[in-house]
Amino acid sequence: MEITDAKWAKLSWIYKGDFYLYENAHQSLESNEETKAIRFKLIETTGKESDHFEFVIRQDKNDFFFKADCFKEHDVESPLKLFRSNDEVVLYFEDDLGHGFFRLGE
**Chain segment 33-69, per-residue pLDDT in tens:** 999 999 999 988 876 666 788 899 999 999 999 998 7
Highest CATH level, class, for 3-105:
mainly beta
Average pLDDT, the chain: 89
Three-state DSSP class for residue 19: strand
DSSP H helical ranges for 34-97: none
pLDDT value, residue 15: 85
Contact yes or no for 6/103 (Cβ under 8 A): no
Query: How many Cβ atoms are within 10 Å of 21's Cβ, its own excluded?
Result: 13
Contact yes or no for 93/64 (Cβ under 8 A): no
- pTM of this prediction exceeds 0.85: yes
